[in-house]
Amino acid sequence: MEKMQNAAVIGHPIGHTMSPFLQERLFALQGLPLCYQVLDIPELSEQMETLRSLDCFNVTIPHKSNIIPFLADLTEKARLCGSVNTVRVENGKLYGTTTDGIGCRKALERHGLELSGNILLLGNGGAAKALAFETADRPGFHLTIACRKESFEKAKVLADSLADTARKNGKRGFRIVLETYEELEADKTAVFDLLLNATSVGMTPHAGVSPVSEQVISRCAAVFDAVYNPEETELLRLAKKLGKETVGGMEMLVYQAAESHEFWYGSRFREEDLDKLCRDAAEELQRRTEGQG
């Protein structure tokens, strides 16, 4: 019999995470016995002994950056993003990566969409960085980053890092544009192949709000929202009304969870199994939402 895997998701606060539901299913698909804990950890330094005793764990807010000083090593993409959501434990040492970017890319591919063409990215936090660097992996990428006025300097640091990395990797013909939301709304001529929302705008309990207007959405051929609760955000509702192709955050959540197993065990999953998990996870979220009503 396979060895029991001791795994967890860590964060603070962490009451309503979907990780146990997703990971229990993914471990079961591999036939691996699992003990998966939800660990609410306010201060990482006080729980390192516990974390080093695990086989692997997932990381969520606010520890995606906080975990980095405790790692023996991390992947280049995680280093660039300054964010880690997946950790493997080997002989008490921690090794980290981020699966957010590839999770988004694979969720898009499920709908026949690619991280290519003229892309509009909303936000400049951890999730936005992961999506930005995943986009910058593509040759000749065209990326517009929209942010709040007060975040413009922070977004400029991200844009400069993207450009430096692209040049080091021999990329040519790329273009990076920075805009405030006010500039984005005012410019009615720019059109985009794909809008990526990497902000928390529209997330429960503040649902019913879109990060951009219907006018901006009308200039985008397809729309992705990293928010998964609610399943249909106001952004996605407006995009569907305008006849746009839409992809929700739950699919990214499923695919980034599946990618964590590549880092932990070198495991891959059948597409039909991940399709079913996407459907089941959406149903589980609806069940939990109704239970709170």
Each residue's pLDDT tens digit, 18-76:
999 999 999 999 999 999 999 999 999 999 999 999 999 999 989 999 999 999 999 99
State how far the Cα of 215 lies from the Cα of 199, in Å rounded to an integer: 19
Q: What is the pLDDT of residue 293?
A: 52
Active site residue 241: no
Q: Which residues of the chain have pLDDT under 70?
A: 1, 291-293
State how far the Cα of 100 lies from the Cα of 249, in Å rounded to an integer: 11
CB-based contacts of 288: which residues, under 8 Å, 6+ apart?
Answer: 16
Catalytic residue among 3, 64, 129, 154: 64
State how far the Cα of 260 lies from the Cα of 266, in Å rounded to an integer: 9
**Identity at 115, one-letter amino acid code:** L
Other CB atoms within a 10 A radius of the CB of residue 249 amount to 25
CB-based contacts of 284: which residues, under 8 Å, 6+ apart?
Answer: 18, 21
Each residue's pLDDT tens digit, 234-261:
999 999 999 999 999 999 999 999 999 9
pTM: 0.94
